[in-house]
Amino acid sequence: MDTQQLALVFPGQGSQKVGMLAELGESFSIIKDTFAEASEALAYDMWDLIQNGEQEQLNLTETTQPVLLTASVAVWRLWCEQGGLRPSLLAGHSLGEFSALVCAGALNFADAVRLVRARGQYMQTAVPVGEGAMAAVLGLEDAQIVEICAQASSTGVVEAVNFNSPGQVVIAGQVAAVDQAIELLKAAGAKRAMPLPVSAPFHTSLMRPAGDKLALALADISVQQPNIPVVHNVHGKTESDPAVIKALLVEQIYSAVKWVDCVETMLAAGITHTIECGPGKVLSGLNKRINKSLNCSNIDSPESLSAALESIA
């Protein structure tokens, strides 16, 4: 298989679960070694947390973000160690964009682990718990959803924040405005419009204070030109300038995740296979819905690693 046909993708929040990567960790030392590296950066035993901790603790944003980044980097390192084909593009969904940049050599791993923990803290404190909400909307056109959010915004902030696949969009904002939007969306014929179990309205304009803090944190961190291009959520394009990459990471916190655009960019570049590095297969499902011809694999167990390696042989 030609390297130009392969992209590796990295999941965002929601893919974490207690016991994730357990079998890979027992089979391949590089998994636990990567978690040990991250544990040293954060001064707590991250592997013990994901294997023996409580799901509630794992779901705290400031915990979830470094845990998922570490899981993705560990799987990427395993892929490389096992002789996996070098991809021509990388991309990640929200938090996963940081994982992609680490794997592309643009961000130092320990720096990134500390940075995303801080990002989680900033995002959580930008809007007090209980004041923000998110909801998934199925079965309406993007433009309809954007228009209905504009109507409901007389009640408060509500915006379309994740364009995940055709017919699947996530909205977020202040609780009353999200509730109002849900009613209007159902009246407009949405198949489903259901609240999501998250603690803050991610990727809305309400996250601007978090963006300001992230910009300050990024000022002290070195970003290099990626050695594999990364497709960015904000505009669905690749960037090589480290200063632009920093600006995009800040903007991403309060801007919509344009995942459909990211996948369309990969397809236009000739990508035929995507491999999801990390727990679960959320992105594999989205990618398949965006384009049925895509060959989508994921790696979170020894069996799925073998299958992914075979899929590009």
List the beta bridge partners of residue 3. Answer: none
3-state secondary structure of 108: coil
Q: How many angstroms separate the CA atoms of 178 and 289, rounded?
A: 26
* Residues contacting 267, CB < 8 A, separation 6+: 291, 294
Active-site choice (39, 72, 203, 232)? 203
Instruction: Report how far Cα 310 is from the mean position of its chain's Cα atoms.
Output: 25
Catalytic residue status for 235 = no
Is residue 98 within 8 A of residue 217, CB to CB? The reply is no
Active-site choice (15, 39, 88, 94)? 94
Please list the alpha-helical segments (H only) found in the chain.
Answer: 22-27, 29-42, 46-52, 55-58, 61-81, 96-103, 109-126, 142-152, 175-187, 208-219, 242-253, 259-268, 282-290, 302-311
DSSP state of 223: B
For 138, other C-beta atoms within 10 Å of its C-beta total: 14
Two tokens, residue 277: 């590095």
Catalytic residue status for 273 = no
DSSP state of 86: P
Active-site residue set: 94, 203
